[in-house]
A and B are shown apart, each in its own frame.
Chain A
Amino acid sequence: MLKIDGMSVSYGPVQALRDVSLEVPRGEVTAVIGANGAGKSTLMRTLAGLVRPAAGSATLDGHSLTGRKPEDVVRMGVSLVPEGRSTVPELTVDENLRLGGMWRSKAERASTHAEVYDMFPVLGDRRSMRADTLSGGERQQLAIGRALMSAPECLLLDEPSLGLAPLIVTQILELVKRLAEESNLAVLLVEQNAVTALRVAHSAVVLNLGQVVMSGSAADIASHEELRHAYLGY
């Protein structure tokens, strides 16, 4: 389980996160929803070690992640798929995948590599093509595949739906849900698109101006009308 306790982050005088606490259990998708500027990406980048928190802590199965570098956080089993379908565009599909989890043994990596191609057949078809020739949906699959190459126990997904066609969004999120359930991953999913996120998530947290304003089961939050009007705008 990923556990975040009292996390606060400041960019100079601007406080991006205030005392955020939440739990992401294994085998489930936990969604973080909220408007632009609510602090969702900051939360993800802090968990991955790219941003240092001013206060608070994050632990995975009791091991502290706080204050570690990104390259160490990923070794501890927390893998981030950053916003914007982050791949290395100049490298081929295969090279992008080989990049993930280099510290693992050759045999382990080879088996994960094969699993990723099973999971995303389209990547297998395009393995020797450069990543920048892929479509948006294919690149998002590649970004997720790269993150899976390090055999994570916790997957952080930052706005995977951004700029993708609705049908592809549904496919990718369904796959994420299956991953959580079948591989027993703790998945933290950040989404601006609340409707889509709540459809696949087990539970959810609503962030507003860096603070948690509500948390509960996805169904509860989806049916909470005042909350929807106030923070989610639908």
Chain B
Amino acid sequence: MTQLIDYILGGAGSGMIIALMALALVLTWRATRVVNFAQVGQAMFTTFIALSLQTLTGSWWVALLGALVAGAVVGVVVQYLVLRPVKRMDTSGAIIATFGVLIALQAAAGMIWGGDSQAYPQPFNNTALTVFGREWPISAYDLVVIGFGVALVIGLTLLFTRTNLGLAMRATAFNPEVARLSGVRVSRTLTIGWALAGIVGALAGVLVAPVSGISPNSFDILLVFAFTAAVIGGLDSLIGAVSVGIGTGLILSVVSGYSDSSNAPVVALILLALNLALKPEGIFGHNSARSV
């Protein structure tokens, strides 16, 4: 029993990272009805930029800030240069195009920073917490990750429910024509959505890098988990992405604990298949049919 609890707790940090990446996927989906498979590639690229800044300045926080700014910029660039022209022709074409962007970003990162996995530093020591005379499977760094995730979710919730920009973004996602007729500058709103997703993805990248290391392909597996969480969560739902994302992290941690971590992707795929068979609109989705 104690072992099970340990395994579950051990998944909290990675669950939050999956949740953040899933959140980034949901943000682009809501803005432009495109699943952005390049999201992890963008995050990988911005994490490399952060690593360079870290080497240059020695500050973890400056590197984080740099990654977030770069995340917004890369998101906007990808939307402008690739998504806009392609989507004008065909939505499924746009989804394929995001794969192209992923491959291009990985190739570019390999050329700039090399293909080997590099270590990414942590702001704190990654030692297990000792409370009540017992060593827990959660580290101080896990708490930092969870703290960032919670702060971001609160921030986004306030943005979407309390501000005009958030209202414009929601209206644009659900009914772009009525939004335009109401005076919302829809294309600008979509671009802001991509920038926001880029920032969230970049945060996930910097937070996962100390654990996973950083190489052009090191976040690929994160795409599998985040995509699973986003789809099960309903694709349209921010709450869905976050809660299913954390849940996925906990389940995978238990699976890895009792068997082997190489089984985690298989379990993620089984969860995804079950979800598509039983409740294809997702746990938090309310629209019965959406064409992808």
CA distance A48 to B167 in the complex (A): 22
Q: Does A74 contact B (CB under 8 A)?
A: yes
Distance in angstroms from A232 CB to nearest chain B CB is 29
Distance in angstroms from A94 CB to nearest chain B CB is 10
Chain A residue with minimal CB distance to B173?
A90
Chain A residues with CB below 8 A from B180, complex form: 50, 69-71
Segment with Cβ contacts to A, from B14-22, B62-70, B181-189: B181-189
Chain B residues with CB below 8 A from A89, complex form: 174-175
Q: Does A113 contact B (CB under 8 A)?
A: no
CA distance A227 to B252 in the complex (A): 73
Q: Would A99 and B185 count as touching, CB distance under 8 A?
A: no
Q: Does A16 contact B (CB under 8 A)?
A: no
Q: Would A150 and B174 count as touching, CB distance under 8 A?
A: no
Binary per-residue interface labels of chain A (45-65) against chain B in the complex, 1 for a CB within 8 Å, 0 otherwise = 000101000000000000000
Distance in angstroms from A141 CB to nearest chain B CB is 15
Chain A interface size band reads 20 to 34
Q: Would A82 and B181 count as touching, CB distance under 8 A?
A: yes
CA distance A31 to B129 in the complex (A): 74
CA distance A71 to B167 in the complex (A): 16
CA distance A98 to B164 in the complex (A): 8
Q: Would B178 and A70 count as touching, CB distance under 8 A?
A: no
DSSP majority for the A interface?
loop
Distance in angstroms from B192 CB to nearest chain A CB is 14
From B170, B177, B178, B184, give the contact of A102 (CB < 8 A). Answer: B184
From B175, B186, B286, give the contact of A88 (CB < 8 A). Answer: B175
- Tally inter-chain residue pairs, CB-CB below 8 A: 71
Q: Does B156 contact A (CB under 8 A)?
A: no
Q: Would B178 and A87 count as touching, CB distance under 8 A?
A: yes
Distance in angstroms from B163 CB to nearest chain A CB is 10
Within 8 A of A (CB), among B166-224: 167-168, 170-171, 174-175, 177-186
Q: Does A146 contact B (CB under 8 A)?
A: yes
Question: Taking A88-B171, A99-B167, A102-B168 as contacts, is the C-beta distance between A150 and B178 under 8 angstroms?
Answer: no
Q: Does A228 contact B (CB under 8 A)?
A: no
Q: Would A86 and B183 count as touching, CB distance under 8 A?
A: no
CA distance A50 to B176 in the complex (A): 12
Chain A residue with minimal CB distance to B175?
A88
Chain A residues with CB below 8 A from B186, complex form: 71
From B177, B184, B286, give the contact of A99 (CB < 8 A). Answer: B184
26 A-B residue pairs with Cβ-Cβ distance under 8 Å, sorted by A, are A50-B181, A69-B180, A70-B181, A74-B181, A74-B182, A74-B183, A80-B181, A82-B181, A88-B170, A88-B171, A89-B175, A90-B286, A91-B167, A98-B164, A98-B167, A99-B167, A99-B168, A99-B171, A99-B182, A102-B168, A102-B182, A102-B184, A103-B183, A146-B182, A147-B181, A150-B182
What 9 additional pairs, Cβ within 8 angstroms, besides A101-B183, A146-B182? A48-B181, A70-B181, A74-B181, A75-B183, A82-B181, A87-B175, A95-B170, A102-B168, A102-B182
